[in-house]
Structure 1
Amino acid sequence: MTANTRTDDPSVDLDDIGTNPTSNPSFTDLIAARLSRRRLFGLGAGTAGTALLQACGGGGGAGAAPFPILPPAPAPAPAPAPAPAGPMKLGFNAVAKSLADVVSVPAGYTASVLYRLGDPTAAGVAAYKNDGTDDATTYDRRAGDHHDGMTFFGMNASNKWDAASATRGLLVMNHEAITPVFLHPTGQTAVGGVRTVADEVLREFYLHGVSVIEVNKSGSTWSYKQDSSFNRRVHTLTEMTLSGPAAKTDYLKTKYSTDGSKTRGTVNNCANGTTPWGTYLTCEENWAGYFRRTTAVGSTPKEQASFGRYGVAGTSSAIGNGRELWATVTPDTADNLYGRWNCEVIGAAATDDYRNGPNTYGWVVEIDPFNPTSTPKKRTALGRFGHEGACLGPVVVGKPLVWYMGDDSQNEYLYKFVSTKNWDAADIGGGIAAGDKYMDDGKLYVAKFKADGSGDWLELKLGVNNITASYANYAFADAADVVINARHAADAAGATRMDRPEWTAVNPKNGEVYLTLTNNAARTISTTDAANPRFYNDPKGTSAQRGNPNGHIVRFADTGGDPAAVSFKWDVYLFGARSTASADVNVSALGADNDFSSPDGMWFSQAAPGLLWIETDDGKYTDVTNCMLLGALPGKVGDGAARTITNFDGATTVQQATFVGKAPGTDGLRRFLVGPKECEITGIAESGDGRALFVNIQHPGEDTKVADITTPAKFSSHWPEGGNARPRSATIVITKNDGGLIGL
């Protein structure tokens, strides 16, 4: 779940390039570039069978009701009782694959647009013009772009967190990146690789980050409250406190914070997480590409090793000047709004420039949605990398808390953090102070997957697992150095290189953890192993797609059901594939109603424990279908069997043994939603009663060319407003027409 970095080829992401130089055992080797995988959007809803209705236009605006899908759904009947005990069943007909520019949902469901790019979040802010001319200074009170990871925090009449709330809550979501072509009158203004209009950059600063908005249900309709006192935008200019082992160390000292205690902003917020005390975790993923570093002059070899391992490097003007070219704006402001993105050595000491600026990004950030005046905190104990998310494990009074975290870049790793303090339910509602207790002290681990279906959690700590000053690729100095350079530490420990670890999700029924691995076009037949058993070609038109282009989902169970355990067992839950592929490719025996490619977002329902939602971010199968959301009822680790897969590269045949979960069939996996053209389906949450499902539709129209911005007919999409409107990322809310639980 990443956006294009501005390299010499703007369609290539840093997570597709990879920065891991080690030869640690690979889980799925290097990933191929997800070129042009972003697509445009429309919206539709179910009528008889699977409906594909055109996007509706107009309406909405400041605090207005969401845009309904036509025809409107009938008023819901009284809510039925919760699903009975016993075997759970998917209760919807599968949505067909589609290349239409709409959102398709099953018959009996209605989808509405709730919250779009530019929508105002404060009283007195005008409705979004959506033509690139809105006042840049208002964007700190508007919805950001590229809606992503998301959580619904139910709220009671006393304005306190109530997880069971069915009609009111705070919806908190990430805004990962931007689609620049639609944000300004004619796209970004740059001359010779230099941004020349400061207001354009200010808009972009504000459009990244996080939204906190109050949402309410009236009758069968959900809307957001524009003038709520809880509404808040956290963005690249918001002051953040740094906490944990790296805080107030020399590594984090900058001109802005000479004692290393704080920084400004958060950026490239992808997946998310929560805490049991009721706060939100936003995770910084592809942050490295925003920093300018056209020269390494003045940097020490150790600094250069750190920069290189994280992708803060490059000598070409495009890479070195940073994504969106933020550092190039001149003149700079007195407080270095633009210069802080330049991490070159300029002054005599670190406190004279921003050479350490990148060290203040790449963290898990805690935000208290119930306290709009609170200062977010970057939790350094959880390690610095390309955080895809931070999924909370089972919560048990008297036991440590655990978060599982993927590092979304090719050849990177799976991590977990285990708190030192044991959970005390008295800390519910404790806000940021509770985070200080549980998230600033603990053990950080990285996963090593073994060929026999077992695995080890390797602690990342100075003096153990080869993490020493004598490690050849990086000389570790202290505890702060380890968490700041967690990738180097994982390299040293011998962790398993994986295929761009994306979202993690914990099954509330048994505590098992699921991990999406999106795809891997760099897999070769000689590097297949038990954990990466497939090598094949999945042609897209006349273009070959070799390796493991459709990705898969791994699941694991910590030993003894204890999240603090240092060992686990694993298998492959699902393999992405076309239904028409051979049995050695379509290992999970997917059919037309549930075949998919490139799993990304993933989340278990809390109202219906055991119901898993899987989202895709795909460029491999988009000749057949747009990205999608699938409902699943997974079993458990080991419910399948050992299997041998035959791989063939045109010259050589290799037999590869692996462990495969039970084939899901359509009873266990079914397509619930297909998005419009060129979209990514990402971010998912539910109301406290499970009768409203919130889903994000990210970056509509991203492939529209700058040259076409004055010709609306050439836009790839006009979703969600229709007509000649510029497309906008947005959150939709899905409800069942009979008022029942979603998916069952």
Structure 2
Amino acid sequence: MAKHDLDPNYLDPNYEPVVNHSGNTSFASVLTARMQRRTLMKGSVGAALASVMGMGLVGCSDSDDDNGSTSGDVQSSTELGFKPVAVSTENRVVVPEGYSTETFVPWGTPITGSYPEYRADGTNTGEDQEQQVGMHHDGVHFFPIDQKSGGNSSAEGLLVMNHEYINQGALHANGPTRAADNEGVRPVDEVRKEIAAHGVSVIHIRRDSNGTWDIVFGSPFNRRITGNTDMDIRGPLRGYSKLITAYSPNATQTRGTLNNCAMGPTPWGTYLTAEENWHGYFATADAERPREYVRHGVNDNSRYDWELADTNADEYMRFNVSTTGASAAEDYRNEANTYGYMVEIDPFTPESKPQKRTALGRFGHEGVIFAPTKEGEPVVCYSGDDSRFEYIYKFVSSKPYHAATAGGYLLDEGTLYVARFNADGSGDWLALDLEDADFAARVAAAQGTLVGDIQFDGFENQADVVVNTRLAADIAGATTMDRPEWGAVDPNTGEVYFALTNNSNRGKDGYDDVNAANPIVENTTGHIIRWTEAGNDHTATSFDWDIFVFAGEQGTETVVDGEAVVTLDDTNIFNSPDGLWFDYNGRLWIQTDGSDAAPYQNNMMLAANPVTREIKRFFVGPVGCEVTGVVSTPDVKTMFVNIQHPDGNWPNAAEDRPRDATVIVTRDDGGVIGA
């Protein structure tokens, strides 16, 4: 029986069983155990916490060793000069007075090949979909067309975006054909179309003299990367035995990228797309699952039953990760081990193969963010594992960055760290490296014990550590978090921000922190954490952290040193922060993917001044959507915002099928967005 017959939530892209039972110190327990430097949430959703905690935390930007600027220049560049919008239940996009919007490149827009037109009745084929914009727009970035030559055009560029998952009912003319209703198989073209609707779109766009944006049809840059695109495996897992498949017996290649959520532009002008909840695309009938599958929830049910396509083509059979051959080179038992990575795409080289950068770890990547690069020093980037009770990671390259020669090779060698948030407001980066004495000692001590649900028998080498990143983080003693999603680095101060969306299991029976000392129980609204690396050096192995803001309803307070620095009201209540992005002027944009019930209503995007913590609601999406993915042109006068899984007939009231789309936001006077 398919998973969708068992759990009505299985099609939710955030659906993932809790698979971390390691018992590591939880984030909530750290927060409420703090003795000296504390951030406090108060209000109707935090009264229990307020009764337990006293003094406030000195914010990161106020610590003694902080060199972050709070000058007038930074203050003025991050001011919020718009009138906030109210919450909304309307099936349209709402923006402030003086702003306008238009929808752009909705699902099904032809961008390459023979440019097959979108058919509103759902009869496009799988081949058509491979040439059209994918479904469920998510992370997005605008690359100026002249970026490689040092330019920063705001009138022409490559819009590159992720397509996280699909709405099967809208994708097919009469909805999907269930295997259970079709003699145990699914029509192959339905499967082909679903795989093609995933992945990444690269779209060459240009603004005309009237200010209208359009696709540059016929451009060689226009490209689709799908769940079937050939890809190289790079980094420490290239050639590793646990990635051997019938497709690549030498473990150097694989096919496709799936469940692409957030992303990150690299300092050298390429695009990294994140593979998040990839585990649900595979199924195994093996009685004994390898720990690489147990720790991620790969089991005997797949999300879309692609392995049941009515063909024996291995491009579909590969989603059956059962042991069926005499060796791993004769079946796809290891196929799921070729997923769970950041995938690098060069949008300016359309003939290039995407690269799975395995050194950044294997887990449910939400995205990746880079610290500012410095000539001759290592590259540093951060990534969150978007699942309840999972972790935040940092990668520091072994080789130094040189602007003239930088490339993806910098991501193939380095040290992967996982974060531990200490009770006194400090934090540590724990190396997941067998050559690190502390980690090696923990690995040795854990051998022969039960780590969560896994009987631990050691790591055979460093590649084994990487393919089992989550298990390694368990053993290292990292701090479990409430679904770490998008991150962002403040361009003015270097502080790192991460959205912790929510964790409805926090404090429930059988889960962490059901006690008075850990009173953020069933964290349904989430919060945003931030930290400053020691000495403002992003390669440092320690940091200081605080809470930037607690999400919640009217009256929710974030308190620092006994003073409420944020009190949410009608202009800025929000829940479940998800997307984060700093614009080129230093404003922080916060996107939500939470409950659409009162008082929050439709999901939204807010702007925040990181210096003053002022927050205003800027954008509200249509009914049923997630507001996800945001970027602007370099002049910050055109903003691109993605709308995922809208309900009803948005954006076209004349059509029955909803279509994910990008929304273009501009100021009527041609000014800077948010100013």
Smaller-chain TM-score range? 0.7 to 0.9
- What is the match of residue 526 of structure 2? 551
- What is the match of residue 565 of structure 1? 540
Q: Deviation at 1:523?
A: 2.5
d(CA) in 1 for partners of 2:267 and 2:650? 36
Q: 1:725 aligns with which of 641, 656, 665?
A: 656
Q: 2:400 aligns with which of 422, 429, 435?
A: 422
Distance verdict in 2 for CA 1:424–1:360, change over 3 Å:
same
- What is the match of residue 693 of structure 1? 639
Q: 1:169 aligns with which of 140, 144, 157?
A: 157
Q: How does 1:396-407 map to 2 (within 5 A)?
A: 396-407=374-385
2:202 matches 1:202: no
d(CA) in 2 for partners of 1:291 and 1:155? 38
- SS of match in other structure, 2:248: coil
Q: 1:256 aligns with which of 235, 247, 267?
A: 247
Distance verdict in 2 for CA 1:355–1:552, change over 3 Å:
same
- What is the match of residue 171 of structure 2? 183
Q: 2:408 aligns with which of 435, 438, 453?
A: 435
Q: Once the two structures are superposed, what CA deviation does each residue of 1:713-743 show, in whole Å capped at 9, x if it has no partner? A: xxxx211111233110011111111111100
Q: Deviation at 1:470?
A: 2.2
d(CA) in 2 for partners of 1:6 and 1:619? 22
Q: Root-mean-square deviation (CA), in Å?
A: 2.4
Distance verdict in 2 for CA 1:133–1:524, change over 3 Å:
same
- SS of match in other structure, 1:681: strand
Q: Deviation at 1:421?
A: 1.1
- What is the match of residue 738 of structure 1? 669
**Count of aligned positions:** 609
Q: Deviation at 1:353?
A: 0.4
2:580 matches 1:602: yes
- What is the match of residue 116 of structure 1? 106
d(CA) in 2 for partners of 1:279 and 1:133? 34
CA contact (8 A) 2:161 2:200 kept: yes
d(CA) in 1 for partners of 2:655 and 2:112? 27
CA contact (8 A) 1:578 1:596 kept: yes
Q: Deviation at 1:296?
A: 2.0
Give identity over the alignment, percent: 44
- What is the match of residue 274 of structure 2? 283
d(CA) in 1 for partners of 2:567 and 2:537? 32
Q: Deviation at 1:423?
A: 1.0
| Structure 1 range deviating more: 186-195 or 490-499 | 186-195
Q: Deviation at 1:227?
A: 2.0
Q: 1:326 aligns with which of 306, 319, 323?
A: 306
Q: Deviation at 1:601?
A: 0.4
Q: How does 1:534-683 map to 2 (within 5 A)?
A: 534-535=519-520, 547-580=522-555, 588-606=566-584, 608=585, 610-619=586-595, 621=597, 624-635=600-611, 664=613, 668-683=614-629
2:339 matches 1:393: no
2:458 matches 1:458: no
- SS of match in other structure, 2:280: helix
- What is the match of residue 34 of structure 2? none
- What is the match of residue 420 of structure 2? 448
- What is the match of residue 18 of structure 2? 18
d(CA) in 2 for partners of 1:550 and 1:731? 26
CA contact (8 A) 1:5 1:11 kept: no
- Aligned AA (2:168): P
Q: Deviation at 1:163?
A: 5.5
- Aligned AA (2:133): A
Q: Once the two structures are superposed, what CA deviation does each residue of 1:574-616 show, in whole Å capped at 9, x if it has no partner? A: 10011155899x994111101100000000002x1x2010000
- Aligned AA (1:454): S
- SS of match in other structure, 2:81: coil
- Aligned AA (2:522): G
Q: How does 1:132-281 map to 2 (within 5 A)?
A: 132-156=122-146, 160=148, 162=150, 164-192=152-180, 194-218=184-208, 219-281=210-272
CA contact (8 A) 1:534 1:548 kept: no
- SS of match in other structure, 1:684: strand
Q: 1:95 aligns with which of 85, 91, 94?
A: 85
d(CA) in 2 for partners of 1:499 and 1:471? 29
- SS of match in other structure, 2:589: strand
The TM-score with structure 2 as length reference comes to 0.86
Q: Once the two structures are superposed, what CA deviation does each residue of 1:213-243 show, in whole Å capped at 9, x if it has no partner? A: 0111112211222321100000111000001
Q: Once the two structures are superposed, what CA deviation does each residue of 1:605-664 show, in whole Å capped at 9, x if it has no partner? A: 02x1x20100000126456410000011112xxxxxxxxxxxxxxxxxxxxxxxxxx7x3
d(CA) in 2 for partners of 1:226 and 1:149? 23
Q: Once the two structures are superposed, what CA deviation does each residue of 1:496-554 show, in whole Å capped at 9, x if it has no partner? A: 0001110110000011100000112222399659999653xxxxxxxxxx622100000
Q: Deviation at 1:148?
A: 0.4
- What is the match of residue 508 of structure 1? 491
Q: Deviation at 1:86?
A: 5.5
Distance verdict in 2 for CA 1:195–1:107, change over 3 Å:
farther
Distance verdict in 2 for CA 1:143–1:567, change over 3 Å:
same
CA contact (8 A) 1:123 1:226 kept: no
d(CA) in 1 for partners of 2:86 and 2:673? 18
- Aligned AA (1:343): V
Q: 1:493 aligns with which of 462, 473, 476?
A: 476
Q: Deviation at 1:699?
A: 1.1
- Aligned AA (2:305): L
What are structure 1's unaligned runs of at least 5 residues?
A: 30-82, 314-319, 429-433, 536-545, 636-661, 702-716
Q: 2:346 aligns with which of 351, 368, 375?
A: 368
CA contact (8 A) 1:616 1:681 kept: yes
- What is the match of residue 53 of structure 2? none
Q: Deviation at 1:692?
A: 0.5
- Aligned AA (2:8): P
The TM-score with structure 1 as length reference comes to 0.79
CA contact (8 A) 1:603 1:612 kept: yes
d(CA) in 1 for partners of 2:207 and 2:557? 47
| Structure 1 range deviating more: 355-364 or 321-330 | 321-330
- SS of match in other structure, 1:173: strand
Q: 2:286 aligns with which of 291, 296, 301?
A: 296
What are structure 2's unaligned runs of at least 5 residues?
A: 30-71
Q: Deviation at 1:191?
A: 3.6
- Aligned AA (2:328): A
CA contact (8 A) 2:596 2:602 kept: no
- Aligned AA (1:286): N
- Aligned AA (1:731): T
2:13 matches 1:8: no
- What is the match of residue 105 of structure 1? 95
- Aligned AA (1:322): S
